[in-house]
């Protein structure tokens, strides 16, 4: 994921703020459209493919494939109609695009939608290695293409970056489709009846859940922010969002949470204890808390310095955006875990009740943006995320949420990080600030946070047992450390 990180840094340094703002809004628009037009297909594949594969249910797989193909065809028809309508209204920015620009963005969008389908299909088939290799190759190709244009002295603008994205995502889609297709070679088994109603009920619930994620996503917030922020503030806000997203993808907890659902469903199909599976989710969540809290500490104590080093000095005044994104990241991961729990227990109805919160948050941002500026884009998503997660926890309280989130120990880790930031800020005043001092202070505080977490011993015995099974016996230091931070 370092290639994605360096790509973001390179783009913000090469493009002027106005061009970067155009690229950032286009990127956000593609991400929003791809999620809205997903129609719940990726999540449905993750939910049902492991069950059918565990039973070698060829008939169920074929029936599922037909329904997903119908949904995907419907999504592309919707996209086609929207493009036709958009080209007829001069009030829409799409009408001002050239045919070449529209074609490039459409290819990027379609490839992104299909890549998400194939990627989640790979996850459901336990093809994480292939998915990881192709995803890493895509970011490497993207960075190499940008670097090559820079070395050749070519003019690089927002259109160049968008064209690179469209090309690399399309190539990655072709490669991953070929690798995933090999998993179905020679599959045979009995044909079983597959209840259509269950599939489409699940699709409806996850579609609503995906819509909630889109409405409250950083991409949607970025698009709304573009209506009221100036070019500098929008560029800085977009850069910090992209930077944090690139860093987060390297977090082991984030990677585990992203791939945990197909594993959970597959093990449920094989009769593995539900509580044991949720304990593995808790390990992933605590890893995410540790790394997200470390980034929070670094941002709070050396935010302006980090942004100046990685981007432009004029962006450093918006360093506090990193703090809010850090908290929002934990909320997003908790929401993802709750999605997994609801998927395992087939309780999708709750998403039909919480979606108005996301719409309300977006409306609040839009109407208060002229008054509060960038603060509106930070405060309302935070409040909406907290309320949404709280309602889901209440609704799923009897389905193992306490095991998956382990609220007591998880909260203790987060509070510890906040206390360390407070103590460091109190004893080292802002008048003594310098780049080297800020970086040293942040590094030292992160080390102290690590020691404090070890002293808190956040792992439970069940989580320790899972780690012992996953870690090779030869890794004695890791096994000793896991035992040392475990308590009843």
pLDDT tens column, 108-132: 888 988 988 888 888 777 777 788 7
Does 256 have pLDDT greater than 90? no
pLDDT value of position 64: 76
pLDDT value of position 280: 78
Residue 77 tokens read as 């028809």
pLDDT value of position 59: 73
User: Under a CB-based contact definition with an 8 Å cutoff, are residues 271 and 444 in contact?
Assistant: no
User: Under a CB-based contact definition with an 8 Å cutoff, are residues 479 and 430 in contact?
Assistant: no
What are the pLDDT digits (tens) for 440-471? Answer: 989 999 999 999 999 999 998 888 888 888 77
Q: Which is higher by pLDDT, 372 or 346? A: 372
CA 479 to chain centre: 30
39-60 burial: b if 16+ Cβ within 10 Å, else e = bbbbbbbbbbbbbbbeeebbeb
Q: To the nearest whole percent, how much of the chain has pLDDT over 90?
A: 8
Q: Return d(Cα 182, Cα 144) in angstroms, integer.
A: 29
| 89-93, 341-345, 466-470: the lowest-pLDDT one | 89-93
Average pLDDT over every residue of 323-331 = 83
Does 138 have pLDDT greater than 90? no
Domain boundaries, the chain: 1-187, 209-456
Residue 390 tokens read as 């709280």
Q: Return d(Cα 395, Cα 341) in angstroms, integer.
A: 11
Does 217 have pLDDT greater than 80? no
pLDDT value of position 171: 92
**pLDDT classification of 87: cutoffs 50, 70, 90:** low
Tell me which residue has tokens 């340094």: 13
Average pLDDT over every residue of 395-424 = 88
User: Under a CB-based contact definition with an 8 Å cutoff, are residues 112 and 169 in contact?
Assistant: yes
Does 201 have pLDDT greater than 60? no
Residues 6+ apart with CB under 8 A from 163: 104
Helix, strand, coil tally for the chain in percent (to 5): 85, 0, 15
pLDDT value of position 370: 86
User: Under a CB-based contact definition with an 8 Å cutoff, are residues 7 and 140 in contact?
Assistant: no
DSSP state of 459: B
Element (H, E) at 296: helix 274-310
Length of the chain, in residues: 488
Does 267 have pLDDT greater than 60? yes
Does 416 have pLDDT greater than 90? yes
Does 210 have pLDDT greater than 70? no
Average pLDDT over every residue of 284-297 = 87
Of 220, 251, 225, 310, the C-alpha closest to 8 is 310
pLDDT value of position 77: 84
**Measuring CA to CA, how many Å separate 161 from each of 2, 15, 99?**
18, 10, 17
Does 92 have pLDDT greater than 50? no
pLDDT value of position 156: 84
**pTM given for the model:** 0.68
Does 152 have pLDDT greater than 60? yes
Q: What is the mean pLDDT of the chain?
A: 78
């Amino acid at each position: 994921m370092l290639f994605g990180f360096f790509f973001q840094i390179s783009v913000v340094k090469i493009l002027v703020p106005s061009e970067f703002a155009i690229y950032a809004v286009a990127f956000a628009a593609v991400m929003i459209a791809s999620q809205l037009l997903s129609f719940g297909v990726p999540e449905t594949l993750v939910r049902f493919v492991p069950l059918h594969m565990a039973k070698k249910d060829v008939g169920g797989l074929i029936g599922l494939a037909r329904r997903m193909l119908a949904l995907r065809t419907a999504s592309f028809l919707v996209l086609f109609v929207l493009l036709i309508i958009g080209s007829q209204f001069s009030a829409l920015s799409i009408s001002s695009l050239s045919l070449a620009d529209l074609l490039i963005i459409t290819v990027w969008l379609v490839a992104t939608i299909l890549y998400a389908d194939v990627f989640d299909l790979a996850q459901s088939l336990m093809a994480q290695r292939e998915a990881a290799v192709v995803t890493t190759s895509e970011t490497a190709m993207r960075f190499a293409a940008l670097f090559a244009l820079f070395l050749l002295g070519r003019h690089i603008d927002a259109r160049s970056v968008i064209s690179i994205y469209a090309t690399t995502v399309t190539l990655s889609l072709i490669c991953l489709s070929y690798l995933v297709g090999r998993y179905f070679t020679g599959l045979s088994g009995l044909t079983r009846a597959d209840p259509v109603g269950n599939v489409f009920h699940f699709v409806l619930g996850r579609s609503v859940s995906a819509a909630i994620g889109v409405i409250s996503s950083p991409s949607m917030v970025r698009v709304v922010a573009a209506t009221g922020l100036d070019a500098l503030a929008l560029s800085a806000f977009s850069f910090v969002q992209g930077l944090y997203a690139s860093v987060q993808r390297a977090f082991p907890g984030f990677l585990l949470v992203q791939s945990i659902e197909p594993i959970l469903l597959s093990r449920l199909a094989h009769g593995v204890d539900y509580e044991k599976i949720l304990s593995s989710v808790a390990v992933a969540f605590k890893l995410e808390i540790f790394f997200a809290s470390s980034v929070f500490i670094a941002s709070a104590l050396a935010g302006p310095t980090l942004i100046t080093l990685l981007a432009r000095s004029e962006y450093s005044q918006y360093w506090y955006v990193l703090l809010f994104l850090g908290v929002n990241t934990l909320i997003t991961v908790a929401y993802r875990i709750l999605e997994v729990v609801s998927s395992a227990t087939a309780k999708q109805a709750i998403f039909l009740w919480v979606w108005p919160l996301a719409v309300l948050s977006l409306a609040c941002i839009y109407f208060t943006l002229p008054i509060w500026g960038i603060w509106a884009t930070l405060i309302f998503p935070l409040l909406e995320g907290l309320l949404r997660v709280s309602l889901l926890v209440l609704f799923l309280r009897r389905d193992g949420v306490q095991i998956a989130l382990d609220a007591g120990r998880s909260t203790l880790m987060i509070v510890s990080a906040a206390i360390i930031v407070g103590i460091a800020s109190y004893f080292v005043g802002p008048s003594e600030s310098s780049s080297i001092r800020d970086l040293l202070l942040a590094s030292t505080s992160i080390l102290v946070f690590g020691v404090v977490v070890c002293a808190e011993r956040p792992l439970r015995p069940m989580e320790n047992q899972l780690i012992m099974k996953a870690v090779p016996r030869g890794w004695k230091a890791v096994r000793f450390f896991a035992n040392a931070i475990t308590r009843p």
